[in-house]
Copies of this chain bind each other. A is one copy, B any other.
Amino acid sequence: MEFSEIGEFGFIERFRPLFESLNGAGTCGIGDDCAVMPFGDEDLLVTTDMLLENTHFLRAGISPYDLGWKTLAVNLSDVAAMGGTPVASFLSVGIPSGIGVEYMDEFMRGYRDLSSLYRVSLAGGDTTRATGENALLALNVAVVGRSPHGAAIMRGGARPGDAVCVTGTLGDSAAGLEMIIAAGGNITSSTRTAGFPGSAASLLEKHWRPRPRVEEALALAATGAVRSMMDISDGVASDLKHILKASGVSARVDIDALPLSAPLKEYAAATGTDAVAMALGGGEDYELLFTAGEKDAERIAAEAAVKITRIGTVTEGESGIVRWCRGGEEIKDDYMGFDHFGARRRNRK
């Protein structure tokens, strides 16, 4: 059987039951941004992400510095998504013969600069050769973090009536990726300013060097009012469904309310592409998606250092269903996120 028939989550469901009897007391494993394990008087958070050349990045499309940055960023974002504090990272690299020491020096410089920003140590890893003429660069990062016992914000806490909110703007990273693909994969960060207007450069920046919302998530967690949270990595359309399924609820999302940046709107207008499709299904935003009671959400948005936008409402009803509204009317589209083994987002008006 091909993986495209069952998808990433179908595969996970095949082996998850085999491991259920091994879950320790209080451990929350597969199915959230991080595993949460009681450890001493705190909770230990652990997350891991694999990045493979040609699947997750094109070597011609990102500088080694930015690749190092981004490889860590996607993992720090998972710790942020729990409202936790990242502590240490573990980096595995499989290096093919076409990559020299200087490339990896630059990679480590980018990795270090983001590590410094959040005071995350590099506490271990694995360095190995990727053998074979066609071997590709393989990267894996694991990050451990900490959280006061019971304080981690899971996906399963959303309740009917909650406001659905996001930080920042959505779709910029997807537009940056489209620009790179349109250029045949031949833009790297070292040539990032060449031939692009300022607004385009900001889309590329968001794609190449995402800022995980670590401090913003800690501030959200400190309000005590956030009921569910995750980071937006596959696109908010797909990611919101994870919160809804975990919480056993539905949601209504107002497409007109989506926070779109001026550069994204400019890009969409200039190229005739669909900014909304990029915002909903594009992925790699690494913004936070969370729910909170209506009044709490208003207060949180007013007091937050980061832009927070309410995009919808949690409703009762079939678990995991999103109803999309535009101009107050429900529309019959189903924006899809990124699934590593199957469907890609639909990109239509």
Contact = CB atoms under 8 A, between A and B. Distances in A.
Interface of A: 1-3, 5-6, 8, 11-12, 14-15, 18-19, 21-24, 27, 29-30, 34-35, 37, 39-42, 44, 46-50, 52, 54-56, 87-88, 90, 92-95, 97, 99-102, 104-105, 108-109, 112, 115-116, 119-132, 134-136, 138, 140, 142, 144, 146, 340-341
Nearest to A16: B122
B100 A55 contact: no
A134 B133 CA distance: 10
Contact of A131 (B55, B108, B144): B55
Contact of A19 (B15, B40, B122): B122
B15 A108 contact: yes
A126 B48 CA distance: 7
23 contacts: A2-B101, A6-B101, A8-B127, A19-B121, A22-B115, A22-B119, A23-B121, A29-B124, A30-B122, A35-B90, A35-B124, A39-B40, A46-B142, A48-B90, A48-B142, A49-B92, A50-B140, A52-B128, A52-B135, A55-B128, A56-B128, A129-B341, A130-B136
Given A21-B116, A52-B130, A94-B138, 13 more contacts: A11-B101, A11-B127, A19-B121, A19-B122, A23-B123, A24-B121, A46-B124, A48-B126, A50-B92, A50-B140, A52-B135, A54-B135, A130-B136
A44 B144 contact: yes
Given A50-B138, A55-B130, A136-B132, A35 B3 contact: no
Contacts of A5: 101
Given A22-B119, A39-B40, A52 B88 contact: no
B87 A123 contact: no
Q: Which of A50, A115, A116 has the most CB of B within 10 A?
A: A50
A100 B42 CA distance: 40
Given A87-B37, A135-B54, A11 B48 contact: no
Contacts of A100: 1-3
Given A1-B100, A1-B101, A138-B138, A126 B50 contact: yes
A213 to B, nearest CB: 20
A94 to B, nearest CB: 5
Contacts of A95: 3, 341
A341 to B, nearest CB: 6
Contact of A144 (B54, B99, B144): B144
Nearest to A149: B40
A340 to B, nearest CB: 5
Given A30-B122, A109-B18, A121-B29, A340 B24 contact: no
Contacts of A49: 92, 126
Contact of A52 (B23, B56, B94, B108): B94
A67 to B, nearest CB: 14
Contact of A27 (B88, B138, B341): B88
A48 B37 CA distance: 18
A242 to B, nearest CB: 14
Contacts of A140: 48, 50, 92, 126, 140
B123 A30 contact: yes
A39 B44 contact: yes
